[in-house]
A and B are shown apart, each in its own frame.
Chain A
Amino acid sequence: MSAPALTNRPGAALETILSRALAAGAILVAFVFVSGLVYLLARGAPRLVAFTTLPFPAQIDGEDAFRFALAASLAALAMWGARRAVRPLLSAAVDRALRVAAIPVALVAGLALRTHLPRFLIGMPSETEPGGGIGPELFNTVYLAVLSTAATLPIGIGAAVYMARFARAKRWVAALRAALDTLASLPSIVYGLFGFLVFVVALESGYSLLAGALVLALLNLPLVVGITEESLRAVPRELEEASLALGATQVQTTLRVSLPHAWPGILSAIVLAVGRVFAESAPLIMTAGTTVSRANAYSLDPLRGGETLAVHLWYVNSSGLAPDRAEVSAGTAAVLVALIATTNLLAARLAGPRKK
């Protein structure tokens, strides 16, 4: 659209100035975010690369397993990055061989490296002393994301399938939409209050990861349902009609034709939901608590409380007495950003090119 505009119109000069100003403003806006991100990573990086040798076996239950998983994941990530970097230089065969070899190598590397990890990523947090780490928080964050997504996905996909394919009457759909709009508009603090009322007060189960996971699952429902529904609608009609023409029932068609076709969209919904779980803190303060404990730092029991990385970042700045608060905060923020970036990368990889 490059129509030759009349440049000697009155006002053309003003327009050029305004356009330049707009451009400058937009670039400034982007610059603010990029520089903030760079500062964060620069400030937090020192903690993340301070590798030490750790005692084996670990003193805390489950820490060895966590260390292994962390080491293997880091190794896999490093290898994937390296492979991407040198891909143009390799032949297809070598590339495929590397891809196949990646998993076993990562696992072996994990076993070998699990005693040589950054202390910050494994250590217990400290209330008053310098040198605290975020090991349990990191584990809690990932575990909570898994729990929460496991709760959101079935319900969200089910509701979306109902809305898009199986709804009988318009008003049920309208009710469902109203409910989802309501959920989407609630401030996150309301979810925290709800979780507090139900789990801490009514059920008297105290702070627990399960409470946090369920509350965040609610929070993510509008997102998952919205994207899944949209993906289902994007399935070409011809595909479904062909399936029906072959004698499949509506349910069979939906399950075996529509949903698989919508999978990339559903995957992006999962990634966004996981990203939100990483990022939320207000609902979790009132449902999962703000502490970690040596006794159950890496335990898989969902009924125990535990703070996540985002909550830890807030806690350290609001109540922490450790003198290295700023460094711990920077490291926590950097790990959070890295987690989110990795999840997004993974999803982009898994989904492949997606039609918008």
Chain B
Amino acid sequence: MSGAVSLPAVTESSRDVDDARLLAPGPLPARTRPRWSDMAVRAAVLACAVVVVAATLAVILFVGRTGVHGIREVGLGGLIAGTTWKPEAGVFGGLPLLFGTGVSALGAVVVGAAPAVLAAIWVIELAPRSVRAVYQRVMEVAAALPSVVYGWLALLLLVPRMDTVARLVHGESAHVGGEGLASAAVLLGIMIAPTVLLLSLDALARVPSSLRDASAALGASRFQTAFRVSAPYAWRRILVAVFFGFARAAGETMAVQMVIGGARRLPANLFSPATTVSAQIVMDMQNARPGTPAADALFSMALVLLVLSGGMVIVTRALMRRTA
């Protein structure tokens, strides 16, 4: 697996218990009385596993409970379909937030994930072999950069240029600017590209060379092999990589908050200021008092985000179960 990035623990699970059984004392004369230190270690290790599961449950429970409380206070319909988010006035319409999250994440996939997959195909299949190591290094560094650094660079370099583009497209007559969904989509695309690229590189590297050789033996060019043999073979893993990128883009908070403008309504166009779920949570949490409907509603939106990412995980696991 690539060093910097690996898919979260979604690997084959059938070998787990077999390993344990294999290493367990078999027909060898086993000690009849277990050593205390051994028992202690086993207990400690089990405790660690329990802590992990308990912590996960705690996170879901805490956030979920407050979120559900918020939904009951404010009404699910309003949270999902209402078009105005104004906690100080008691209005909790979450549609602008969900819309912003969805569109910016989708835009990120178009702007970042698609080129990343294509670039990965080029690196593995079509480029000279030495390119791969260099490319991987660069992408590993890029993937490790903090999101606030990306956000700050985007604020400085991307937003003014997007402003010019906005004026070219819409002219001076409409209220448009550099801060909006377009900037957010481009920024998120740039942010998820390294991760998607690294995962796709990994996926394509797993293509058995026998397949490639067979394709070449049949007279296919490298280009044809790449797109008709390797990519189709690895499509599930690549799709998982893209989903991963989408989930990351949807959950990204800080960088998006810096370039999206913060207008709490449905944007008129791609260059209009907007907001996303996570950006709004960060902005509102600063002055929300715990226990008030305003704070609870934020947790409800976080719960919605949680459910969506949970759905993404289920889809991903289903996909991975069928990979070679």
A interface with B by C-beta (< 8 Å): 1, 3, 5-6, 9, 12, 15, 18-19, 22-23, 25-26, 29-30, 32-34, 36-37, 39-40, 154-159, 161-170, 172-177, 179-194, 196-198, 200-201, 218, 221-223, 225-227, 229-230, 233, 240, 244, 249-253, 255, 268, 272, 275, 278-282, 285-286, 310-311, 313-314, 317-318, 326, 329, 333, 336-337, 340-341, 344, 354, 356
CB proximity to A under 8 Å, residues B24-59: 24-25, 28, 31, 35, 37-38, 41-42, 44-49, 51-53, 55-59
Ordered by A's residue number, 12 sampled pairs between the chains whose C-beta atoms are within 8 Å are A1-B222, A5-B221, A9-B221, A29-B119, A155-B51, A185-B309, A192-B282, A193-B298, A194-B62, A218-B59, A226-B7, A282-B282
Given the known inter-chain contacts A22-B118, A187-B253, A197-B66, please indicate yes or no for A329 contacting B152, CB distance below 8 A: yes
Q: Which chain B residues border A230 with CB–CB below 8 Å?
A: 1, 6, 11
Contact of B48 with A190 in the complex, beta carbons under 8 Å: no
Is B8 in the interface zone, CB < 8 Å from A? yes
A285 and B254 alpha carbons, distance in the complex (Å): 10
Besides the contacts A26-B118, A251-B37, A311-B148, what 19 more A-B pairs have beta carbons closer than 8 Å?
A: A1-B222, A3-B216, A29-B119, A33-B138, A158-B44, A167-B20, A170-B16, A175-B53, A176-B49, A183-B59, A189-B251, A189-B281, A197-B66, A244-B28, A252-B38, A280-B146, A314-B258, A317-B151, A333-B153
Q: Which chain A residues border B141 with CB–CB below 8 Å?
A: 33, 37, 340-341, 344
Given the known inter-chain contacts A19-B223, A314-B151, please indicate yes or no for A34 contacting B138, CB distance below 8 A: yes
Contact of A162 with B9 in the complex, beta carbons under 8 Å: no
Given the known inter-chain contacts A173-B17, A281-B148, please indicate yes or no for A196 contacting B118, CB distance below 8 A: no
- In the complex, the number of residue pairs spanning A and B with C-beta atoms less than 8 Å apart equals 306
Contact of B146 with A177 in the complex, beta carbons under 8 Å: no
1/0 per position for B229-272, CB-CB distance to A under 8 A? Answer: 00000000000000000010011111001100000000000000
Max chain B C-beta neighbours (<10 A), residue from A5, A168, A268, A282 = A282
A325 and B148 alpha carbons, distance in the complex (Å): 14
Q: Which chain B residues border A30 with CB–CB below 8 Å?
A: 119, 135, 138-139
Q: Which chain B residues border A39 with CB–CB below 8 Å?
A: 153, 157
Name the residue of chain B whose CB is nearest to the CB of A311: B148
A187 and B298 alpha carbons, distance in the complex (Å): 14
CB proximity to A under 8 Å, residues B281-310: 281-282, 285, 290, 298-299, 302, 305-306, 309-310
Contact of A249 with B38 in the complex, beta carbons under 8 Å: yes
Is B81 in the interface zone, CB < 8 Å from A? no
CB distance from A296 to the nearest CB of B (A): 22
Q: Which chain A residues border B116 with CB–CB below 8 Å?
A: 29
B6: which of A192, A193, A226, A341 is its contact (CB, 8 Å)? Answer: A226
Instruction: Please classify the interface of chain A as helix (H, G, I), strand (E, B), loop, or mixed, using the class held by over half of its residues.
Output: helix
A337 and B143 alpha carbons, distance in the complex (Å): 12
Q: Which chain A residues border B119 with CB–CB below 8 Å?
A: 22, 25-26, 29-30
A310: which of B47, B60, B146 is its contact (CB, 8 Å)? Answer: B146
Q: Which chain B residues border A278 with CB–CB below 8 Å?
A: 146
Is B10 in the interface zone, CB < 8 Å from A? yes
Contact of A251 with B278 in the complex, beta carbons under 8 Å: no
Q: Which chain A residues border B3 with CB–CB below 8 Å?
A: 268, 354, 356
Interface size of B by Cβ–Cβ distance < 8 Å? 107
Q: Which chain B residues border A192 with CB–CB below 8 Å?
A: 282, 285
Given the known inter-chain contacts A249-B35, A250-B25, please indicate yes or no for A279 contacting B146, CB distance below 8 A: yes
Which listed segment binds A: B120-128, B160-168, B172-180?
A: B120-128
Contact of A188 with B19 in the complex, beta carbons under 8 Å: no
A189 and B28 alpha carbons, distance in the complex (Å): 52
CB distance from B61 to the nearest CB of A (A): 10
Given the known inter-chain contacts A25-B118, A181-B313, please indicate yes or no for A222 contacting B9, CB distance below 8 A: yes
B224: which of A15, A183, A190, A191 is its contact (CB, 8 Å)? Answer: A15
Report, nearest first, the 8 A-B pairs whose CB atoms are least far apart: A158-B48, A187-B251, A184-B8, A279-B146, A26-B119, A3-B216, A5-B221, A179-B56
CB distance from A237 to the nearest CB of B (A): 8
A313: which of B142, B149, B190 is its contact (CB, 8 Å)? Answer: B149
Contact of A181 with B10 in the complex, beta carbons under 8 Å: yes
Contact of B42 with A166 in the complex, beta carbons under 8 Å: yes
Q: Which chain B residues border A255 with CB–CB below 8 Å?
A: 41
Given the known inter-chain contacts A5-B221, A15-B223, A225-B52, please indicate yes or no for A29 contacting B115, CB distance below 8 A: yes
B38: which of A251, A317, A336 is its contact (CB, 8 Å)? Answer: A251
Contact of A23 with B122 in the complex, beta carbons under 8 Å: yes
Q: Which chain B residues border A5 with CB–CB below 8 Å?
A: 219-222, 224
Name the residue of chain A whose CB is nearest to the CB of B65: A197
Contact of A249 with B55 in the complex, beta carbons under 8 Å: no
Contact of A281 with B317 in the complex, beta carbons under 8 Å: no
